[in-house]
Chains A and B, each alone.
Chain A
Amino acid sequence: MSTKIDARGLSCPQPVLMTLDEIKTGNTNEIEILVDTETSKENVSRSATSQGWEVKNVSEDGDEYTITIKKG
């Protein structure tokens, strides 16, 4: 079951903090994070990887990205 995080409009480091908080809860194996800048996309992907999670998919819709990360 995947959890969703909406980090649109939030600047550094909020999207990363929200992602790491969700990872730490241990409630889920898959998280979808919605962001709206390339920087947030890179930062969230990098942090997830550093936690041993893998970036399963990044989809782009206009100015928004949905990053799907999965526990490795």
Chain B
Amino acid sequence: MRLKNIFATRWGIIGVGLFIGVFAALLQKLGNPGNMGVCVACFERDIAGALGLHRAGVVQYIRPAIIGFVLGALIAAYLFKEYRPRLGSAPIVRFVLGAFAMIGALVFLGCPWRAALRLAGGDGNAILGLLGLIFGIWIGTLFLKKGYNLGRAQATHTAAGWVLPVIMLGLLALLIVFPQIEGQDKSGVLFYSLKGPGAMHAPLLVALVIGLAIGFLAQRSRFCTMGAIRDFVLFRQTHLLLGFIALVAAAFVTNLIVGQFHPGFTGQPVAHTMHIWNFAGMTLAGLAFALAGGCPGRQLFLSGEGDGDAAVFVLGMIVGAAFSHNFGLASSPKGVGPYGIEAVIIGLIVCLLIGFTMRKRSNA
């Protein structure tokens, strides 16, 4: 038998949550936007912008943390012999779920990770987002109980599991070859932001190293913000939930120490106060994550372990971000976008249809 995985223990997952909470808050201190030390949805949206898939000028940057998440998980998976190239569990459905998860998250302005960090920074709107997230995941658990299942993945070529990690290496190469030029919004093929959240970032190397560390630890501990809530609702298991709570607590304490805790609803960084749509946007995201089996961070870590279906979900999120900004679905601090409400409703209908129609007893 192999050495027991200490990160899979209760204190292991709590330790990982504490680590993420502290370093996410510090990334904000080091230059990231407010309450956005780590936000998988926002960062993938920024990557979509940097590549020109959407042209929202304020959110364009290849976020090194995302690259670190995938590669850190890949390193951990290889070191501990857990790299398992696999794919084929309804990839097109996962792509669509990824796209709508992103659309919902960008109506709220954050994924579950950022919802936690917003709460830890005193942003009261995060409470509505988190309640929406819980509600969406709860709907997802009803489908799971009724036999919702996207089917089995199959083992595949080692190289097939490397596709998303190689894409991440490619993004890193672009970032190094075409660094930001002071005062210019374009460098080679990449777009950069001159103002707004996309212009605010911790130094490349710092963000990359913290991303790698989080990717490594999260792969070992199976950290998942959606699973935290799902497992509690479905099985009354608190294992992953303790990690999620530890993240919020650690970020809160770190924010207090470095002077980043500002309680209130209005004037919060990269946030709006339309409560219903904060709730509904995250309901859509939560349902999509639950149907896909993992939060956006977990999908990146699984991609690093060779899970091609999770990688397709990630690509769906990046494309969803492009649609969000091209179609005016994403919110801004002023409120929801011109077509954000319609998009949330369509997304919920699509997710419900997926939940109702894709039931299969797994032993069939």
Contact = CB atoms under 8 A, between A and B. Distances in A.
Interface residues of A, number: 26
A63 B149 contact: no
A39 to B, nearest CB: 5
Contact of A37 (B82, B227, B230, B234): B82
Contacts of A42: 5, 8, 222
A6 B363 contact: yes
B93 to A, nearest CB: 13
A37 B154 CA distance: 12
Interface in B190-239: 222, 224, 227, 230-231, 234-235, 237, 239
Nearest to A63: B84
A11 interface: yes
B298 to A, nearest CB: 9
B82 A10 contact: no
B155 interface: yes
A2 interface: no
Contact of A50 (B89, B154, B237): B237
Nearest to A8: B152
A47 B124 CA distance: 35
Interface residues of B, number: 30
A12 B293 CA distance: 6
A43 B227 CA distance: 11
A12 B294 contact: yes
B45 interface: no
A14 interface: yes
Contacts of A43: 222
Contacts of A37: 82, 84
B235 A47 contact: yes
Nearest to B309: A11
Contact of B237 (A11, A39, A46): A46
A39 B231 contact: no
Interface string B1-33: 100010010000000000000000000000000
A13 B234 contact: yes
Nearest to A4: B363
A48 to B, nearest CB: 11
B86 interface: yes
A58 B2 CA distance: 11
A10 B231 contact: no
Contact of A46 (B80, B230, B239, B363): B239
B362 A10 contact: yes
Interface of A: 5-14, 16-18, 20, 36-39, 42-43, 46-47, 50, 58, 60, 63
Interface of B: 1, 5, 8, 80, 82, 84, 86, 89, 144-145, 149, 152-155, 222, 224, 227, 230-231, 234-235, 237, 239, 293-294, 307, 309, 362-363
6 contacts: A5-B363, A6-B363, A9-B152, A12-B294, A36-B86, A37-B82
- Nearest 10 interchain pairs by C-beta: A9-B152, A9-B153, A11-B293, A42-B8, A38-B82, A39-B222, A12-B293, A14-B362, A10-B362, A10-B152
